[in-house]
Amino acid sequence: MRSATPSDDLTARARIRDAAIARFGRDGFGVSLRTIAQDAGVSAPLVLHHFGSKDRLRAECDAHVLATIAAHKEDAVGPSGPDHLLVELAQVETYAPLVAYVLRSVQHGGELARTFYAAFVADAEEYLRAGVAAGTVRPSRDEAARARFLTQQAIGGLLVALTLEPVDDPADLGPRLRAHMDAIALPALELYTDGLMTERRMLDAYLMYVTDPPVGAPATDPRPTS
């Protein structure tokens, strides 16, 4: 018996994988293999022939989405953060289902969610470090914690936006996320540029309260001296 897979089977395998990514991103990971098979235009037994189980199908979807996001990360957005990366990718109709899959995975939790989150945090920390070195970003007492916080805020904001106003068609995802970014641009830039509090009593009280305060470089007080 020949072990090589015919080329038409490879095409069907990719079609099933892409249909699963789109369906998982739209409806979550509880959808049936039969539904995915219908979306792909194949029979449910053919899905099992290629993947064996829904868990193995999901694993291949995970790997494909991770590889695609990584390959297009630099080109898509550069050093602007995970929210901009996902928004920019979602503008391209081809990638909108992948973005929905990422957000659904983060919402669902599990190992893939942790993998996505860790990758975005690492990128944010790198971008922030470069900004500090260039003098465009204030230093932090804990650069890693700041990167984690900003990543949580960015992805969390996208999840809230889509939870409150979900989209049924992946083609609508790009415009929906773009509208979200437009809505938060002013308050986010204002907060990140000018700050929120007019004095630092709460920060000083916290630093006195914690038993092991961070020892990194403190952020410069942004208040005018005059």
Q: Quick one: which of 113, 118, 119, 121 has its CA closest to 58?
A: 113
> Residue 178's pLDDT is what?
82
> Residue 91's pLDDT is what?
67
Tell me the C-alpha distance between 182 and 178, whole Å: 6
> Residue 14's pLDDT is what?
93
* pLDDT tier, 76 (very low <50, low <70, confident <90, very high otherwise): very low
Left (φ > 0), alpha (ψ -120 to 50) or beta: where does 197 sit? beta
> Residue 162's pLDDT is what?
86
* pLDDT tier, 217 (very low <50, low <70, confident <90, very high otherwise): low
Higher-confidence position of 92 and 62 = 62
Higher-confidence position of 74 and 70 = 70
Please tell me the least confidently modeled range out of 56-65, 86-95, 128-137, 194-203.
Answer: 86-95
Q: Is the pLDDT of residue 16 over 90?
A: yes
* pLDDT tier, 145 (very low <50, low <70, confident <90, very high otherwise): very high
- How large a percentage of the chain has pLDDT more than 70? 80
Query: Does the predicted TM-score (pTM) go above 0.85?
Result: no
Predicted confidence (pLDDT) per residue in 34-65, tens digit: 999 999 999 999 999 999 999 999 999 988 98
Higher-confidence position of 208 and 80 = 208
> Residue 213's pLDDT is what?
58
Predicted confidence (pLDDT) per residue in 118-141, tens digit: 888 888 888 888 889 888 889 999
* pLDDT tier, 29 (very low <50, low <70, confident <90, very high otherwise): very high
The arithmetic mean of pLDDT across residues 72-76, rounded, is 54
Can you give the three-state secondary structure of the chain, one letter per residue? CCCCCCHHHHHHHHHHHHHHHHHHHHHCCCCCHHHHHHHHCCCHHHHHHHHCCHHHHHHHHHHHHHHHHHHHHHHHCCCCCHHHHHHHHHHCCCCHHHHHHHHHHHHHCCHHHHHHHHHHHHHHHHHHHHHHHHCCCCCCCCHHHHHHHHHHHHHHHHHHHHHHCCCCCHHHHHHHHHHHHHHHHHHHHHHHHHCCCCCCHHHHHHHHHCCCCCCCCCCCCCCCCC
